[in-house]
Amino acid sequence: MTRYILTRTARALLTALLVVTFAFFILRLTGDPALEILGNEASPQALAAFRASWGLDQPLWVQFVYYLHAILTGDLGQSMRDGRAALTVVTERIPVTLAITVPALVINLAIGIPAGIYAALHRGSAIDRIVMIGAVAGFTVPSYVLGLVLVLVISVWLKWLPSGGAHGWSSAVLPVVTLGINGSAILARFVRSAMLEVLGQPYIRTASAKGMPWRRVVHHHAVPNAAIPTITIVGFMIGGLISGAVIVESVFSWPGIGQLLVVSVVARDVSVVQCLLFLVTVTMVVSNIFVDIAYGLLDPRMAKEGNL
């Protein structure tokens, strides 16, 4: 098990390094922050001074080495817009994003898991078809389209809830619902498939043939075994919520890290963008490590064989 954990951790760290490297070079090669921040009318002297103060006049490989050193020492730079520490700028927005992503995750689990289990246990029934139609619709409709529809119906037509901003709990309802519907649809489909696969296993038929009550077969054999692959999708959903927050926060003008990322990319505030991408990458990598460890604990065969 120790070797399994070390292997998964090493792979996760390599993934994080690749993402950080990709983000660094993409940001450097897609434009000049000096021109974006100071404007086209800035003098050559002002542009040169700006580049020198931020190390942008150095060769790319030198900038990259400095960047890696800064990450290892915990120095994620300063905002090019206001001079504050990039980490401070980002951490101020994290609680705002958690205010919609955590409730959305709860909705995903509370709706997606029971719906998937119930649909699998009643395969072919009207309820199963309704769940699958809803799951397909929730999965295929982009979050920005769903968000705009909710704004149009709930905010503009019915005037029940605010259309955007962060002015109390009522402003968070539509962003949470938008994130929750998409995640619930994905989870319901996955749980249904996992349950159907488990219900078709010989040991389920054997337990039922021996006279074990069906409810006990489901609770003690089917659900626990279906939960093993479900853990994987839940780990991916955490990353999905973070990426979904970028779109949803933009639609609803929710001042979280998603909106900050969009604003910083447009403003070419490279330090803040790099800090955001680094923290998001670390969050996703850590969540996937915990998922892999949980998977290995629940199914020791996977850890022993080195699969996943």
Let me know if residue 171 belongs to a domain. Answer: yes
Residue ranges in the chain modelled with pLDDT below 70: 1, 4, 296, 298-308
Whether 221 is in a domain gets the answer yes
* CATH at residue 139: 1.10.3720.10
Q: Residue 174: its pLDDT value, please?
A: 92
The pLDDT value recorded for residue 308 is: 44
**What is the predicted pLDDT for the residue at 157?**
92
225 is a domain residue: yes
Q: pLDDT at position 303, please? A: 52
Give the 3-state DSSP-derived string for the chain, with helices as H, strands as E and coil as C.
Answer: CHHHHHHHHHHHHHHHHHHHHHHHHHHHHCCCHHHHHHCCCCCHHHHHHHHHHCCCCCCHHHHHHHHHHHHHCCCCCECCCCCCEHHHHHHCCHHHHHHHHHHHHHHHHHHHHHHHHHHHHCCCCHHHHHHHHHHHHHHHCCHHHHHHHHHHHHHHHCCCCCCCCCCCHHHHHHHHHHHHHHHHHHHHHHHHHHHHHHHCCHHHHHHHHCCCCHHHHHHHHHHHHHHHHHHHHHHHHHHHHHHHHHHHHHHCCCCCHHHHHHHHHHHCCHHHHHHHHHHHHHHHHHHHHHHHHHHHHHCHHHHHHCCC
Residue 137 located in a structural domain? yes
87-118: per-residue pLDDT in tens? 899 999 999 999 999 999 999 999 999 999 99
| Structural domain range at position 143 | 94-255
How many domains is the chain partitioned into structurally? Answer: 1
Enter the tokens of residue 157: 């037509």
- The whole-number pLDDT of residue 305 equals 53
